[in-house]
Chain A
C-alpha cells in the first residue's frame, strides 16, 4: 500500500520528520536520524488517570470510572492468551516499557536491532486486548505493591499533596495508580469497556525516531491495524474554580531535610493554548528563580535552598501550573519570597539580561532534546495531542519577548492562587 507522506522541516535544526495519516485512523510520525544506532518507538493514547468521568456515543450519560483504571489497563495490556508482550520482545532484544501519565498512556521500546519484528509486536499487542477474571485478579498484588512504593516516596507524596491543595475537583489530584481500595473494583469487563472507548486509533499516535526504515513501520501498520470506528468522546467539565483549596499542606515521612513543592495554579485554556503558553511560562519561572537570579542567590546564601532547587511547568488538557521544588529548612520563607518576587516582576517587568538568560536556557533545552532519539520520539508524542508542531516549540522560545511573557503570565496566574506542600521529618 502506498501512503501519502508529509515532510515537516526545521531550518533552525536542519532536521525533519514525516507524517502519515494511516487509513486505519492512526497518525504516524517518523523522524529517521542519521548516524544513530538505536530506534525508539512510542504508541499511545490520549487516555490517562484524569479520565475518570466520560460520555461516549453509545452511552448518553456521563459515567464514573474507578480511580487508577487507566494504569491498571496499561499493566494488563501486556498479556495475551499465549504469552506476555515482554516474552515476545525477548526474541527481538528490544527494551520495552510503558507508562501511564495524567492524560496519556504510552507503550514504547528501544532497540538497536530487529526493528521490524519489534514494531509489529508493539502495534499488535496494544491493539489486541486479552483480559480474564484470573489475570485481572493476579495484578492486584503487583499494582498494590507499586502503590505502596509510591506511598513511601517523599517525592511523590509532596507533589500529590500539592495537587490536592491546588485543585478542588480536577481529577489531576488523584494518584495515577489509584488506591488499593479503588483498584479492587476493577473487573475484566470494565477494562474492556475502557479499552474500547479510549484505544480507538483516531485517539492514538505512533511516533518513531532514530535508526529505522520508514517502510517497515508502514508495512507493519498495514499488516496489523484494522480501520477504527468513528470516534466520539466528551470529557466532563470538572468545574474547577480559579482559586486553590488551601495554601498550605504538610505530611510527616522519614526524610532527612524538609522537602517542598510550591505551585502557582494557572487558568486553563484549550489544550493547545496550555501547551504553547507553557513555553512562555517556562521562561518566566526561570527568570523568577533560576540560579542566575538575585532571588536564588539570596535564598542560597541564607542557606534555605540548595542545588536540589528546581522548577517546571506542569500542563495538560485542562490544567496548568508552575511548580517549584527543593529541600529547605524554612519552606515558608521560600514560598513567601517567591510570591513577593512574582508580584514584583509582574509589576516591573523582567530585566533584559535575565530575560536573555531565561530565553536561551529554554531554547537550549529544546535544542538539545533534538540530538537524542528518545527526546525526539517523546517530543513528537507530547506535541501530537495538543496539535502543536514539534519545531514550533523552538520558535515560541526564540520569538518570546519580556512583554509577551509578562502578558501571558498576568492573564494566567496570580500569586494568591498558589500553595505550599511540605514533607517534614
Chain B
C-alpha cells in the first residue's frame, strides 16, 4: 500500500523493507548490519563501514568510485555507525535520482543496488583476505579523530559526559565510535575478521524508500545474500534499568559559556503507554517553544538561550541540557528541578496539555515528507520490533491523559548531573 511499509524476509535473518511514495524524485536504499553492542567489538566494527566506503571488487579505486557516484547526478553514498538500545548498527546507504529523472532513462535503481551490494558484500580484499593497508591506516586515524571530535561541540561533549555517568555499566554507555586504545590495536586480521563476522552473524535490514521499483533492488540483494554463509546471532531480551544512584561531575575548559546537563531515570517505563506518557511529559516540560523550561528558564529568568529536554525511549532516560553563565549554575539547576516538580504536582493547564499534544501531532504529520525521515521512522520500528505508522502513533498519543503525564513526572529521579565550566582546560 502506498506510503506504508512492506516487509519481506529475503534470506536468513535478512529483510527487505520498502516504502514507496510517487511524490519523490529520488530513491534511498540503506543496508544495515545489526549486531550486539559490546565494548570488545564496538571499535573494530565502527571501522568497517569506513573501509567499505573506500571501494569494492567491481570498483576498487576510491576516486573512480566517487566519479561513478557523481555521474549518477551526485548520488550520495554514506557509511556510518549508529546505536540503538543494545544493538550496534553498521549502515551503508545510497541516495540517487530515480530512473524517471535520468537523462538517458538508464536503470538507476539497479545500478545503485548493485553498487551498494558490492560495497558491503564484495569488498576489495587482497590475496590474504585483508583490506588494503592504506585504507586501514587512513581510516583508523580518521576514526580516532572522530572519536575525539566530540570535544569540538561543547553541547554534544557535555551531553556525552552526562550519559557516560548515568550509563556507566549499561550498553548505552558504550561510545558510538568506540575507544582510541581499541582503535590503535586494530590490525589487518582483526578488521577482516570483524567484517566477516558482521556479514555472517548480523541481522540484515534493507530499507528502500522513494519513488522507484524496489523489486529490482530486492532481486539484487536476495541473490547476493543467498550466496552467503549465514549464522545470525540470537536476539535476546533487553532489561531497562529503573533507577540508579545520583552521580555528579564537573570539568573545566577554556570556554565562555557553561553547559549544564541533567539526566533523570523514569522508572523503566515498559509498556508503549508508559513510554508515550514520558514522551508527552518531555514535550510539555522542555520540548517546545511554549514548554515549561522555555517559558521559565529562558523567557522569565533570561538565564539561557536554550533549555531543552528529550526522552530516550530505549533507555527510559529524560535528558535536560542548557547553556548558561557559569555563576548561574545553581539558579538554573534549581529551576529545572522545580519545573519538573510542578508538572508532577499537576501545575499545568488543560490548554498547555492539549497544545503540547498538538505539537507532537504536527511533527508526526511531517514524517512522510522526506526520504530520510521515512527511512528513520520505519527503521526505528523495525529495530524495536514494533512497526507502526505515524497515524497509529498519533492515536496512541491521543490516549495519554493528564494523569498519565503527572504519574510519569512523579516517577522521575535525578540520576546524573554534569557541568562544563570555565577555566584551564583539564
Contact = CB atoms under 8 A, between A and B. Distances in A.
Interface of A: 13, 33-38, 84, 86-87, 89-96, 110-113, 138-143, 145-146, 148-149, 151-155, 210, 253-257, 259, 290-294, 296-297, 300-301, 303, 306-307, 327, 353, 356-358, 360-365, 367-368, 370-373
Contact of A95 (B305, B355, B362): B362
Nearest to A259: B152
Contacts of A36: 23, 369
Contact of A148 (B24, B149, B256, B371): B256
A198 to B, nearest CB: 24
Contacts of B302: 138-142
Interface centre among A92, A140, A141, A362, by most chain B C-beta atoms within 10 angstroms, is A141
Contact of B255 (A35, A84, A152, A303): A152
Contacts of A91: 355, 358
Contacts of A292: 63, 66-67, 69-70
A291 B79 CA distance: 15
Given A37-B365, A255-B151, A90 B425 contact: no
Contacts of A300: 62, 138
A149 B323 contact: yes
A349 to B, nearest CB: 18
A141 B21 CA distance: 46
Contacts of A37: 365-366, 368-369
Nearest to B142: A306
Given A35-B21, A112-B364, A364-B73, 19 more contacts: A36-B369, A84-B299, A89-B289, A93-B355, A95-B362, A138-B302, A141-B302, A148-B256, A148-B325, A151-B256, A153-B153, A155-B153, A290-B70, A291-B63, A296-B66, A303-B138, A306-B145, A357-B67, A371-B23
A111 B362 contact: yes
Interface centre among B152, B154, B370, by most chain A C-beta atoms within 10 angstroms, is B152
B63 A297 contact: yes
24 contacts: A38-B366, A93-B355, A95-B362, A111-B365, A141-B303, A145-B323, A145-B324, A148-B256, A151-B257, A154-B152, A255-B151, A255-B152, A290-B70, A292-B63, A292-B70, A327-B145, A356-B71, A360-B71, A361-B74, A364-B73, A364-B75, A367-B101, A371-B24, A373-B369
A50 B149 CA distance: 32
A87 B23 contact: no
Given A362-B74, A372-B369, A142 B25 contact: no
A235 B150 CA distance: 42
Contacts of A353: 67
Contacts of A154: 152
A152 B323 CA distance: 11
Q: Give the interface size class of chain B.
A: 35 or more
B197 to A, nearest CB: 25
B97 interface: yes
B26 A368 contact: yes
B304 to A, nearest CB: 5
B134 interface: yes
Interface in B108-167: 134, 137-138, 141-142, 145, 148-149, 151-154
A294 B134 CA distance: 17
B253 interface: yes
Contacts of A363: 73-74
Given A38-B366, A90-B355, A254-B151, A33 B361 contact: no
B280 to A, nearest CB: 14
Given A149-B323, A368-B97, A38 B66 contact: no
A36 to B, nearest CB: 5
B369 A148 contact: no
A360 B103 CA distance: 11
The 4 closest A-B pairs by CB, nearest first: A112-B365, A141-B302, A35-B23, A364-B73
Contact of B365 (A87, A113, A145, A327): A113
A291 B53 CA distance: 12
Contact of B25 (A92, A140, A297, A367): A367
A145 B325 contact: yes
B282 to A, nearest CB: 16
Interface string B344-370: 000000001001001101111110111
B152 A256 contact: yes
Given A38-B366, A91-B358, A145-B323, A86 B290 contact: yes
Nearest to B103: A360
A153 B148 CA distance: 16
Given A37-B369, A113-B362, A368-B97, A145 B70 contact: no
B26 A371 contact: yes
Contacts of B256: 148, 151-152
Nearest to B135: A301
A177 to B, nearest CB: 10
A38 B23 CA distance: 13
A112 B63 contact: no
A361 B363 CA distance: 31
Interface string B297-326: 011001111100000000000000001110
Contacts of A92: 358
A425 to B, nearest CB: 9
A376 to B, nearest CB: 11
B22 A35 contact: yes
Given A143-B305, A292-B66, A364-B97, A303 B23 contact: no
B305 A256 contact: no
Contact of A87 (B153, B290, B298): B290
A90 to B, nearest CB: 4
A38 B358 contact: no
A112 B362 contact: yes
A170 to B, nearest CB: 26
A306 B323 CA distance: 30
B288 interface: yes
A112 B366 contact: yes
Contacts of B288: 86, 90
Contacts of A155: 152-153
B182 interface: no
Contacts of B24: 371
Nearest to A291: B66
Contacts of B355: 90-91, 93
B254 interface: yes
Interface string B280-292: 0000000011100
Interface centre among B305, B352, B368, by most chain A C-beta atoms within 10 angstroms, is B305
A94 B360 CA distance: 10
A36 B368 CA distance: 8
A341 to B, nearest CB: 15
Contacts of B299: 84, 138, 142
Contacts of B325: 145, 148
Interface centre among A140, A141, A364, A372, by most chain B C-beta atoms within 10 angstroms, is A364
A141 B355 CA distance: 27
Contact of B425 (A111, A113, A254): A254
Contacts of B74: 360-365
A372 B368 CA distance: 11
B305 A33 contact: no
A56 B138 CA distance: 57
A94 B362 contact: yes
